[in-house]
C-alpha cells in the first residue's frame, strides 16, 4: 500500500497541533451542537440535544479505535498525544447565562452527559476554582454561568497523525514524502493511475497503478476527486476559511487555566466563530490558545496555492456556490470584521473571557485552513454551506475521499459512510483477489 505526501512530513496541514483547536469534540462544552427552541414571546424554552448526542457518540467511536490501536501497540503512549482536560461551557451576560442553564437542564439526564456539573452565577467561589482566569478582575455585576465535564480531552492531532503513519510504515506501508499527486485517472483495465511529481531536488514524475484510492488530502481532496472525474463530486465546492490564534506561553498564566472553555458566538455568527480559551499540550509543551480570529483565503491548504478556489470552480458547482455564498453573508461579514480588527480589538475579545489578559503574554500565529463544504441541498436543490465532514465515494467504492473541516479530526472514524466505504472496498478487494 502506498501513501503520497507532498510535504516533507505528514500531519503538517490542518492536523498539525497549532493549526487546529485540538478539541476532542464530544459536545461537552461546544454551544453550537445544541439549538435554541424559543417560546412565542421570544424567550428561550429549551435546547435540542440530538446533534450533541450524535457528536459525542462519534467521538467515543474515535476513542475506542485509538484505544484499540494503543492496546495492540500501534500507537505510542497516550500521553504523547491525548490529555484529560475539563471541558467548560461558559455563558457571559444574562442571555448566555439563561442558555447555559437550559442547555444543562436538557443534557444532564442523558447517560452521555450525567457527569456534567453546573456553576450558577451566585457560586463565585466554585467559579474561581473551576476557571480562575475567567473570574479574576471581572465586573461583579456581570453574571457568568458555567458547566463542567471532567473527562474532556485535548488532542495533539499532529502527533496522533504522525504516530498512525509510523504504524502504517511498520505494517509494511510505503510512505512517499515530497511527492505530490498531480492527476488521478481511471485506466481502461479498470485500475486507477495516480500521477505523482517529486517536489524539490531530484524531481521527477511517476505513474502508479492502484485498484483502490483513498483521497485524504484535506482541503485539496475536492481538487483530487474532480481530477478523478467521478460524477458523485459534481455540485461540490469548498469555502476556505483561515485565521489566527492568540497564543500564550507564560507558564504562570498557563498553569492557572488547565481547562478548555467554549462560549457561544455573537448572535447569528456561524459555528466556527465560537470563541474559546484552551489549555493545550502540543509536542509536550503547555500553552493557551484563544480564538480563532477568522480571515479569508483562496487557498484550500495552508501550504496550498492562491489559485485553489479558482481551479475548483466548475460549471456544475457555480450555482450551488452562488446560492451558498448569498445565504451566508453573515460569515463574510464576520470574517471581514476579524480581518480589520486591530491588535487592541483582539485583546479586547480575549479580555471578554480573561479580563486580566496582559498583551505582553500573547502573540498571534496563523491557524490552518478549513475548507468548508458547499453543495446542493438535497431537500431544496439550493446551494448550502455545510459545517462538517463527509465522504464522497465513486466507481463502485474503488475511490473515496474525505471532504470538509471541523470537527473532522474527532469524528473521522465514524463520519457518514467511512465505515461503509471501507466495507465496500474490502468486499471489492475480496472479490478481486
Ligand atoms: C482552525 C481549525 C480548528 C480546528 N479545530 C478542530 C478541533 O478542535 N477538533 C477537531 O476534531 N477538528 C478540528 N479541525 C478540523 C481538523 O483539523 C481536520 O478535520 C483534520 O485535521 C483533517 O485531517 P486530514 O488528514 O483529512 O487533512 P490534513 O491534516 O489537512 O492533511 C491532508 C494532507 O494531504 C496532503 N496533500 C494534499 N494534497 C496532496 C496531493 N495532491 N499530493 C500529496 N499530498 C497531498 C497535505 O500536504 C496534508 O499533509 C480544525 C481545523 C481548523 C483549520
pLDDT band (50, 70, 90) for residue 429:
low
**Between residues 127 and 273, the one the model is more confident about:** 127
> Which single residue is written with the C-alpha cell 485539496?
220
Distance CA 397, CA 405 (A): 22
pLDDT band (50, 70, 90) for residue 99:
very high
Distance CA 397, CA 420 (A): 9
**Between residues 268 and 398, the one the model is more confident about:** 398
Q: Does position 390 have pLDDT exceeding 90, yes or no?
A: no
Q: What percent of the chain has pLDDT over 70?
A: 94
Model pLDDT, residue 413: 86
pLDDT band (50, 70, 90) for residue 121:
very high
Provide the angle, in degrees to the nearest 10, between the axes of the packed helices 315-327 and 329-339.
Answer: 70
DSSP states of 165-188: HHHHHHTT-EEETTEEEEEEEE-T
Q: Are 9 and 17 in contact (CB under 8 A)?
A: no
Phi/psi class of residue 390: alpha, beta or left (left: φ > 0; alpha: ψ in -120 to 50)?
beta
Q: Which of 63, 54, 68, 64 is nearest to 83 (CA)?
A: 63
Distance CA 357, CA 362 (A): 8
Sign of CA dihedral 302, 304, 310, 315: negative
Say which residues have a Cβ less than 8 Å from residue 257's Cβ, sequence separation at least 6. 131, 132, 133, 277, 279, 288, 354
Q: Are 165 and 175 in contact (CB under 8 A)?
A: yes
Q: What percent of the chain has pLDDT over 90?
A: 76
State in Å: Cα 13 to ligand 1 middle: 5
Model pLDDT, residue 200: 80
State in Å: Cα 16 to ligand 1 middle: 8
Model pLDDT, residue 381: 82
Model pLDDT, residue 268: 62
Distance CA 76, CA 66 (A): 10
Residues with CB under 6 A from ligand 1: 4-7, 10, 12-15, 19-23, 25, 157, 180-181, 216-218, 220, 224, 292, 301, 367-370, 389, 402, 405-410
Q: Does position 407 have pLDDT exceeding 80, yes or no?
A: no
Distance of CA 50 to the CA centre of its chain: 20
Q: What radius of gyration, in Å, describes the C-alpha atoms of the chain?
A: 22
Model pLDDT, residue 414: 83
Q: Does position 89 have pLDDT exceeding 90, yes or no?
A: yes
Query: CB count, 10 Å around CB of 345?
Result: 12
Neighbouring-strand partners of residue 23? 154
Q: Does position 262 have pLDDT exceeding 90, yes or no?
A: yes
Distance CA 388, CA 407 (A): 6
Highest mean pLDDT (candidates 135-139, 238-242, 295-299): 135-139
- How confident is the model over 355-372, as pLDDT tens digits? 999 999 999 999 999 999
Q: Does position 292 have pLDDT exceeding 80, yes or no?
A: yes
Q: Which of 157, 167, 159, 153 is nearest to 69 (CA)?
A: 167
- How confident is the model over 313-371, as pLDDT tens digits? 999 999 999 999 998 888 878 888 888 888 899 999 999 999 999 999 999 999 999 99
Q: What residue's CA is closest to ligand 1, atom 27?
A: 218
State in Å: Cα 312 to ligand 1 middle: 18
Written as nine digits, the cell of 410 is: 474527532
Mutation probe of ligand 1 site: the residue of 24, 55, 218 with most atoms within 8 A of C-beta: 218
Q: Cis omega before residue 126 (within 30°)?
A: no
- How confident is the model over 194-225, as pLDDT tens digits? 999 998 876 789 999 999 999 999 999 999 99
pLDDT band (50, 70, 90) for residue 423:
low
Secondary structure tally for the chain: helices H, strands E: 13, 22
Q: Are 224 and 210 in contact (CB under 8 A)?
A: no
Kindly report which listed range (148-152, 352-356, 400-404) carries the lowest average pLDDT score: 400-404
Q: Are 303 and 218 in contact (CB under 8 A)?
A: no
> Where is 129: in which H helix or E strand?
helix 124-130
Q: Does position 433 have pLDDT exceeding 60, yes or no?
A: no
Q: Are 81 and 155 in contact (CB under 8 A)?
A: yes
CA distances from 73 to 69, 237, 324 (A): 6, 39, 45
Q: Are 328 and 269 in contact (CB under 8 A)?
A: no
State in Å: Cα 155 to ligand 1 middle: 14
Model pLDDT, residue 70: 97
Distance of CA 332 to the CA centre of its chain: 19
Amino acid at each position: 500500500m502506498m501513501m503520497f505526501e507532498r510535504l516533507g512530513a505528514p500531519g503538517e496541514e490542518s492536523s498539525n497541533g497549532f493549526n487546529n483547536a485540538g478539541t476532542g469534540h464530544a459536545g461537552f462544552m461546544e454551544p453550537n451542537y445544541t439549538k435554541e427552541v424559543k417560546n412565542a414571546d421570544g424567550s428561550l424554552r429549551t435546547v435540542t440535544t440530538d446533534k450533541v448526542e450524535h457528536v459525542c457518540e462519534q467521538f467515543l467511536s474515535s476513542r475506542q479505535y485509538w484505544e484499540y490501536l494503543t492496546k495492540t501497540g500501534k500507537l505510542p503512549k497516550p500521553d504523547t498525544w491525548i490529555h484529560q482536560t475539563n471541558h467548560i461551557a461558559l455563558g457571559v451576560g444574562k442571555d448566555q447565562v439563561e442558555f447555559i442553564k437550559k442547555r444543562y437542564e436538557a443534557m444532564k439526564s442523558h447517560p452521555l452527559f450525567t457527569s456534567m456539573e453546573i456553576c450558577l452565577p451566585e457560586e463565585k467561589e466554585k467559579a474561581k476554582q473551576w476557571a480562575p482566569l475567567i473570574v479574576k478582575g471581572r465586573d461583579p455585576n456581570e453574571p457568568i454561568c458555567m458547566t463542567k465535564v471532567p473527562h474532556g480531552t485535548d488532542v495533539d492531532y499532529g502527533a496522533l497523525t504522525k504516530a498512525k503513519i509510523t504504524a502504517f510504515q511498520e505494517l509494511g506501508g510505503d510512505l512517499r514524502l515530497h511527492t505530490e499527486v498531480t492527476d488521478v485517472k481511471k485506466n481502461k483495465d479498470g485500475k486507477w493511475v495516480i500521477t505523482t511529481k517529486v517536489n524539490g531536488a531530484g524531481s521527477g514524475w511517476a505513474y502508479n497503478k492502484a485498484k483502490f484510492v483513498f483521497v485524504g488530502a484535506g482541503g485539496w481532496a475536492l481538487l483530487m476527486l474532480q481530477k478523478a472525474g467521478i460524477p458523485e463530486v459534481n455540485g461540490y465546492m469548498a469555502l476556505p476559511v483561515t485565521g489566527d490564534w492568540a497564543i500564550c506561553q507564560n507558564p504562570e498564566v498557563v498553569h492557572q487555566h488547565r481547562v478548555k472553555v467554549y462560549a457561544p458566538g455573537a448572535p447569528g455568527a456561524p459555528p466556527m466563530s465560537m470563541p474559546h480559551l484552551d489549555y493545550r499540550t502540543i509536542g509536550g509543551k503547555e500553552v493557551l490558545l484563544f480564538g480563532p480570529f477568522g480571515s479569508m483565503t483562496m487557498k484550500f491548504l495552508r501550504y496550498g496555492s492562491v489559485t485553489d478556489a479558482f481551479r475548483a470552480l466548475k460549471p456544475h458547482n457555480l450555482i450551488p456556490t452562488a446560492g451558498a455564498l448569498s445565504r451566508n453573508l453573515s460569515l463574510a461579514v464576520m470574517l471581514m470584521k476579524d480581518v480589520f480588527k486591530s491588535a487592541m480589538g483582539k485583546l479586547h475579545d480575549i479580555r471578554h473571557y480573561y479580563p486580566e489578559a496582559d498583551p505582553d503574554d500573547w502573540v498571534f500565529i496563523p491557524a490552518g485552513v478549513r475548507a468548508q463544504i458547499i453543495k446542493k441541498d438535497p431537500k431544496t436543490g439550493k446551494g448550502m454551506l455545510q459545517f462538517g465532514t463527509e465522504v464522497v465515494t465513486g466507481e463502485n467504492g474503488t475511490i473515496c475521499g474525505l471532504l470538509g473541516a471541523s470537527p473532522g479530526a474527532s469524528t473521522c472514524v465514524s463520519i457518514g459512510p467511512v465505515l461503509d466505504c471501507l466495507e465496500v472496498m474490502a468486499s471489492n478487494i475480496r472479490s478481486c483477489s
